[in-house]
Structure 1
Amino acid sequence: MAHTDGDSLVFLEAADVLHMGDVFFNGIFPFIDRSSGGGIQGLIRSVDVALSMSGANTRIVPAHGALATRADLQTYRDMLQDVSDRVQSAMDRGEALDAVVASHPAAAYRLQGDADRFVAAVYDSLAASTRGS
């Protein structure tokens, strides 16, 4: 469960190309489709798998954005973890969704797309894991 509950990574070993589909949005805040089973924890785990599959010269094909390198993918993974950690910390302090979104925990990242929608999806997926769903 990453972007949805049906994501795939495709590694073409002979060509050293990894296609990540909607697991990777290069230079763009990702869309986590909560209604289709997506969640931040699964997204981070999927990126970790992709990082373990790739090498320094692997060409990485995201669903959105430019062709990427392993370093680009690591930067994306670091952003996912950082925003997730910031949202979790706010939740641990008892902050509600509106307050967390208003605090702009993804503001340090100058990416295209809707940061607030991304943060709301992170919040929702973390809250769901706390509830056990």
Structure 2
Amino acid sequence: MLRRWGSAGLFLVLGVLLWIIGESVFFFLAFALLAAFVSPLIFPRSMPAAEAQRRSAADGRAIVYWRPGCPFCMRLRATLGVTSRRAYWVDIWKDPEGAAAVRAVADGNETVPTVILAGSPHVNPDPRWLRSQLRAG
């Protein structure tokens, strides 16, 4: 659980230190916003891989495998905006089965984000492409 919040905590501590040293609230606010952006809070609620796979088989929605602190996952989530709710999100740090599913399609690596869309895996897809696919589906 601690590593999920590691990046956010580090940014928050840096912001506090810069505020104390430089007496500037601006740095604190900037780093606090950055901490919020890299925290797990901005992602849709994760579910176990088995549940995501079962639901995806029933309704055809995409499955997005991600992990906290991943800059590519953050970029994907920021680009998707509200359309991110049209996919099932699996945190591979919380779910070993999800990590295994990613390794199975990414040559043994835990490369995220990995998206399973219509049964086809897409490792680190273009966020704009995925957004258009989710809107169409």
* TM-score normalized with structure 2 length: 0.31
Whose helix fraction is larger, Structure 1's or Structure 2's?
Answer: 2
* TM-score normalized with structure 1 length: 0.32
Kindly name which structure, 1 or 2, has the bigger radius of gyration based on alpha carbons: 2
The higher-RCO structure (CA 8 Å, 6+ apart) is 1
